[in-house]
Every structure is written in structure tokens, then in C-alpha cells.
Amino acid sequence: MSIKVLIVDDNKDKITSLKAELILLGVPEQNIDSAEHSVDARKALNSHAYDLLLLDLILPSRFGAKETAETGLDLLRQIMEDGDLPPPRNIVGVTADEQALSQYDQEFRKLTIQILLYDAAKDAWRISLGHLVASIKASIANEKNFNSDICFITALRDPELLGVLALPIEWGVEESLGNGILFQRGVYHSGGQRLNLICAHSTQMGLVAAAFVSRLIIEKFKPRLIVMTGICGGIGSSVKLGDLIIAEKSWDWQSGKWLHDGSFEAAPDQKDASPELIALARGMNGAANDFYNSYVGNRPEATPQILVGPMVSGSAVVESSELHARFKMQHRKAIAVDMECYGVYFSAFMSPPPTPKFICIKAVSDLSDKNKADNIQSYCSHFSASVSLKIAEKLLTNK
């Protein structure tokens, strides 16, 4: 099982040493690329899909520039937080500078899976690299055990599931998963590839029901990708009706402790969507505009935005704009609220290998206040399902 690796380091001797070790571990030489500064690193990341990025903590931004930790951190933020660059499967920091490691350890560990202290005279980093390569190979091998490609999950049958069923997919008849949960199998042909799909909806709204149906789907069908679509409430002045929300992260906004004085102390457990799906979603403005322009039926007055940010979840419908301040206190960038997203994220995050990639994509049908209306719920359900299929298609077929 071969993997593809990118080494980003301005020390040519270190690159040679890392490359030699990777070859000993069974990585073909032609599968190992290198870059000596962040400009070349960005070019490589935009050109290839990497299973492993080995990144020096202290880097120059371009040829001849002074190397700094901030350059390495900026590159990581562009990958992991901004979604400007396609994310490698694994990112590992590699440094020979113990002082730099001590000074910037906390910042880098937030954005990488581990940091190797490189010392050509010692074997500790070689042992760690060997374990890492073996783990990546095993993960890739496990992906072959997926039984289906895409699973759409919704909370409501009407209009959310109907939006999924309206996609250009050959859906079969409804079947039972037990416990009152129905599902349908589907087939979608794209670029000469056949994708096998599943769609299902919860028996009721809420985090518990969403987590339960997600768990059943993962165990029975082992999908490569789980997408939750449908409607949500918008939060904040930048969000308008009909906008498409990409839930970068989610948590239960009601999780915490009520204190004796009547105040609430939040304790959010945030779960992040798969970063490669977030990155792909950012590039879907064309698909969003095409859907808006071709949709027949009630639709918002303004063309949609694609907004990436936190979507908080809770077990109650939110009809009070006064709660928006609480959401913003838990995360200042919160832009939407629903009743299911966190349940799906928690189940997918906790599932054993083969672990699916997952994301929640919903369109804003109200602004989480007392002015609830149903006239664009159908549009929002169809919109979120349509763009989600485009994202899944791009991920799975490289179309």
C-alpha cells in the first residue's frame, strides 16, 4: 500500500534524511515531493492530494526570506482553519530546533496531529515516523471496507427528505431499518463511476434521534460520506433568508451547568466537520447561483451566500432572538442553529473504522425569531441537497 508524502523544509540535508527513511518504510521515491518554502508548499498542495505532510515548524515564506514560526503557522491555518488549501490526510510537524519546539509547541499542536523532534543521530523520530506511516497505510486499507458511498440524513420527511429524493438519483423503494426508521437505496452515475447512496430521516427532530439514526446508518451501511441536509435558523446580521450554511463545527448549546444564582455556565463539546469537505464547499458559489436561477417555486428575493461557520444545536426550537447573544458568547462566529447537526457529528466522530467523512449543510429558512414562515422551506431543502451532492461528487470522483 503506497502513500503520497510532501516534505516542507528549508534544510536540504533534513529533506534527504526524511526521504531516505520514508523509502525504507516502503514509500516509493516518486511518491515523495518536497518544498523549501511556503510558496512552493502551497503550489504542491493545490496540485496533489497528500496522505502525509511533514512540515518544518520554522519556514521561510519564499526563496531567500527569513525563516519564522509564524510562516509555518500561517500555512497550517490556511489548510486547517481557512480552507484555502486542500488538506492532507495527516499533518506532522518536524523540527530539529528544541527551543522553537518549546516556544511554539502549543500553537502547532492545535493544528497538527503530532510533532517529531528530529535528530539525525537518534532513532526516536524514525520509530515514530514508522508507526505513523503504518497507521496511514492501515487507514487507507480500511477505506476499502466501506459498503456505500454517500448517506443523506434529514430530520424531517417533508420537506427535507423530499429535497433529497428530488435529486437526479435512481432511488429504490423504502425499506425498514427497524425502530420505525425507513431508508432508501439509490444509484448515481458520475464521470463513468457508479456511486451507491442511502437516504434516511429521523423518526423525530432532536439531537438524540439524529445521533441514533446516524449510528444505525454507519453500522449497517459503512458509508464513505455522511451529509445532513435541510433547514436551519440564521443567527446574526450577516445571515439572510436562503443562505447556505456550511457547519464548520457544532455543539449542544444547552450543555453546561445551571448555577444557584440562576445563571448558566456553558460547557460546549465542539465537533468539527471533515476539513476536506469544508474546503470543497467554499468553492460552490457557482453551483449555488445556478440552483437559485433555475429553481421554480417560492424562493428568497436575494441570491444566496455560502457561509462557513459554527452551527449550534439544541433539543428545543429557537424562536427568540434573545438567545442569539448566548450562542455568540459560546462562539462569536456562530451563524446558525438547528436541532440535529451535533448529534450527527458526534456519532460520526465516535464511530470505529472505517470512519466516514461528515458534514452538515443546511439553508436558512428563518432567522431564529418569532417570525417563522414555511414558504421557503421546500426551496431550502432542495438547495442544500443539490449543493451537497455536488460536493460529494467532487470528493468521490474528482470531477
Strand pairing report for 114-117 and 90-95: parallel
Mean pLDDT for the chain overall? 87
Q: Higher model confidence: residue 142 or residue 47?
A: 47
Question: Which pLDDT score is estimated for 325?
Answer: 77
Answer yes or no: is pLDDT of 125 > 80: yes
Q: Domains, the chain, ranges and CATH?
A: 5-143 (3.40.50.2300), 148-397 (3.40.50.1580)
Lowest mean pLDDT among 56-60, 139-143, 171-175, 215-219: 139-143
Half-sphere exposure of residue 388: CA atoms within 13 angstroms, side-chain side: 36
Residue 305 has pLDDT above 70, yes or no: yes
Give the confidence band of 347 by pLDDT, cuts at 50, 70, 90.
very high
Whether the Cβ atoms of residue 362 and residue 232 lie closer than 8 Å to each other: yes
Confidence of residue 81 (pLDDT cuts 50, 70, 90): low
pLDDT-derived band of residue 140, with 50, 70 and 90 as boundaries? confident
pLDDT of residue 114: 77
Is the pLDDT at 290 greater than 90? The verdict is yes
Give the confidence band of 143 by pLDDT, cuts at 50, 70, 90. low
Which residues have CB under 8 Å from 120's CB, separation 6+?
Answer: 13, 14, 17
pLDDT of residue 307: 96
Average pLDDT over residues 361-366: 95
Least confident of 110-119, 272-281, 373-382: 110-119
Q: What is the pLDDT of residues 126-136, one digit of tens each?
A: 898 898 898 88
Q: Model-level pTM?
A: 0.67
119 pLDDT band, cuts 50/70/90, is confident
Is the pLDDT assigned to residue 168 strictly greater than 60?
A: yes
Maximum mean pLDDT: which of 76-85, 97-106, 220-229, 366-375 = 220-229
Residue 247's closest CA among 97, 373, 45, 388? 388
**Looking at residue 144, what is its pLDDT?**
65
- The Cα–Cα gap between 92 and 172 comes to 44
Report helix, strand or coil for 52.
Answer: strand
Spatial separation of the C-alpha atoms in residues 358 and 275, rounded to whole Å:
9
The reported pLDDT for the residue numbered 228 is: 98
Q: Are 145 and 133 in contact (CB under 8 A)?
A: no
Give Cβ neighbours of residue 199 (< 8 Å, ≥ 6 apart): 151, 152, 153, 154, 161, 164, 165, 171, 183, 184, 186
Sorting pLDDT into bands at 50, 70 and 90, what band is 225?
A: very high
Q: Is the pLDDT of residue 292 over 80?
A: yes
pLDDT band at 152 (very low <50, low <70, confident <90, very high): very high
Q: What is the mean pLDDT of residues 137-166?
A: 88
Closest listed residue to residue 117, CA positions, set 97, 90, 91: 97
Given a cut of 60, whether residue 399 has pLDDT beyond it is no
- Mind listing the pLDDT tens digit for each residue in 244-289? 999 999 999 888 888 888 777 888 888 999 988 998 999 899 999 9
Cβ atoms 9, 18 nearer than 8 A? yes
Give the model confidence (pLDDT) of 307-327 as tens digits.
999 999 988 776 667 777 788
Determine the Cα–Cα distance for residues 381 and 386; give it in Å rounded to an integer: 9
Sheet (strand 114-117) strand order: 32-35, 5-8, 52-56, 90-95, 114-117
Mean pLDDT, residues 296-316: 91
